Structure 1
Amino acid sequence: MKKSFLVIAASLLVCFTASQAMAQTDTAKKTTTTTTITTTTTNNAAADVVGALNSNPDYTTAALAVKTADLESVLKTGGPYTIFAPNNNAFTKLPAGKLDSLMKDPVKLSALLKGHIVNGKYAKADIIKALTAGKGKATLTTLDGQTLTLSISKTSTLQLTNAAGSTAEVTLYDLIGGNGVVNGLNGVLLPSK
């Protein structure tokens, strides 16, 4: 009788321990699932176009230039804006000393950057619509009042040409900010001399 009692007690202990282990496993699974769901529901858009520009490490020089030219406060409010931002490599293609000279002269730097910014939001889909409506060409007006012409290059990329004839190609689309978008360029659009 004592042996039967011990066998039953041992069986109950094993069953109890097994169900506790299974309950802990189920809780761990639920926690993992909850964490996964939370992670996947975050919003990737930046608060503004300056934040969008700062979100990509290939555009740190352009972001620093916007700050140095004192354009951050303008671009963080109002809009919508589209910044056609030269990437870091584009700035290295400038003549020797040109970038340093511009960074020391915020007025000239501001004028240069305003030639890369337009009013309105022109994400890739919007640019395609504008090019379709213009039969392969579209013109936008920059913040400094100049004309920026968009067209398809011989290599089938989007090419921008400013009023001075300086050209660059779009290499990145749709860094979205709350008040606009940043599209990346492989060159700096220099103004006329």
Structure 2
Amino acid sequence: MKMLMLFAALCGLAMATPFDQAAYALQETAPMGLVDELTALGYTKLVGLIEMCVLDFTESASRIPHELFYSIDSALTHQTDASNLFLSRTGPFTIFAPNDDAIAVLTPDMMNNMTLLVNILKAHVIEGKVMTTMIRDNLMAGSLLKGVQIRINMNVGWQRTYIAANGAQIIMFDKEAKNGVIHGMNRVIYPIPMGSLVDAMKMIPGLSATMKLIEFAGIESALTGEGPFTIFAPCNNAWMKIPYANVTALMANKTALTELLTYHVAPGAWYSTVMRPGTVIPTLEGKNVLFNPMTPEHLRDVKPMPVYLYVNDAEVILADQSVANGVIWVLNDVITKPSYLPK
């Protein structure tokens, strides 16, 4: 009887204090600031970098005793020079957040270079709130790092849509925070996409042969244009596989050389992370190349996904390197023109 009376009293109390479902839902789902949301999502290494660089996206100004958040130099010296401002307290911001595995790839030298780390972090953030419903292929948005754009590419498939930011695949979408939105990625955007294709290739010693041929053919200026372009650039070793007499003959025939080189350049920004196997890519020369990832027979039992990338029959040794006006792929072979590809 006492138990029945206690139960009735509790029921009466519950009826006297009605359950506020809206308040409960708000308590459970109210977003936190970007840093707190990143922490809750498990992006602990990125949060560590943000804290190290004094890049705090929350609305708490406890780390920086000013109304706005500043770059590392300004924060450390407590200056308020407007030229150093790069984050406001309120936002909103969109952050393309590398996960812990991606951050772990950063070398000790990079981790000890505070200026570089600040620039890398800025290159992952844009002002404003960009949800995936707003994204279209080849969308460009200026990052917080002056002069650096984030290029977003997407490939809409039958079962899945692939989206990448400067070639880094987005694996988590639209996690909203109080002052912005988070998209999770499996790679750091690095090198920072600055300069043209030509600027970048001139700084890569292993592409010096391709660069000299481009200059000799007179197509250098075309590759410094707005683009975007994707260049499938044979490394020096690739040219050494071709008989010297053939290379000499090419240099004596600029028309043939130009045709060969422009067969290695495609209009548009092409990233392996958003392309399906078998994608046919049109080139500036007028014919197509085939994106052809494959897994060797002896690895197929243990490696179900493609582990080697090819363009036609040329092996890719480095893909998806973003620059301001396109993408660089480095090949270990010169691309040949197979007869089975559509014109």
Question: TM-score scaled to structure 2, two decimals?
Answer: 0.40
Aligned residues: 149
- In the other structure, the counterpart of 1:175 is 321
1:99 corresponding residue in structure 2 = 247
Partner of residue 213, structure 2: 65
The runs of 5 or more residues in structure 2 that have no matched partner are: 1-72, 78-112, 121-191, 297-306, 339-343
Deviation at 1:97, TM superposition (A): 1.4
Q: Secondary structure at the match of 1:64?
A: helix
- Give yes or no for contact 1:102–1:109 (8 Å, CA) kept in 2: yes
The 10-residue stretch of structure 1 (146-155 or 75-84) with the greater mean CA deviation from structure 2: 146-155
- The superposition leaves residues 158-184 of structure 1 with CA deviations (integer Å, 9 ceiling, x where unpaired) of 1111xxxxx201101233221001100
Question: Any unmatched runs of 5+ in structure 1?
Answer: 1-29, 162-166
RMSD: 2.4
Q: Percent of aligned positions with the same letter in both sequences? A: 29
Which residue in the other structure is 2:203 paired with? 55
Match of 1:129 in 2: 274
Q: 1:41 to 1:114 in 2, by over 3 A?
A: same
Paired letter, 2:266: V
8 Å CA contact retained: 1:171, 1:184 = yes
Match of 1:148 among 286, 289, 303: 289
Alpha-carbon separation, structure 2, partners of 1:71 and 1:42: 32
The residue type equivalent to 1:157 in the other structure is: Y
Is the CA contact (8 Å cut-off) linking 1:130 and 1:138 kept in structure 2? yes
| TM-score (structure 1 length as normaliser) | 0.69
Distance 2:199 2:291 in 1: 25
Q: Tell me the equivalent position of 1:4.
A: none
Residue deviations 1:99-141 (CA, integer Å, cap 9, x gap) = 122223222111000111001112xxx323221xxxx211100
CA distance in 1 between partners of 2:248 and 2:332 (Å): 19
- Corresponding residue of 1:86: 234
Matching residue within 147, 152, 157 for 2:308: 157
Q: Provide the secondary structure at the position in 1 that maps to 2:330.
A: strand
Contact 1:52–1:176 (8 Å) recurs in 2: no
Aligned to 1:151, what secondary structure does the other structure show?
A: coil
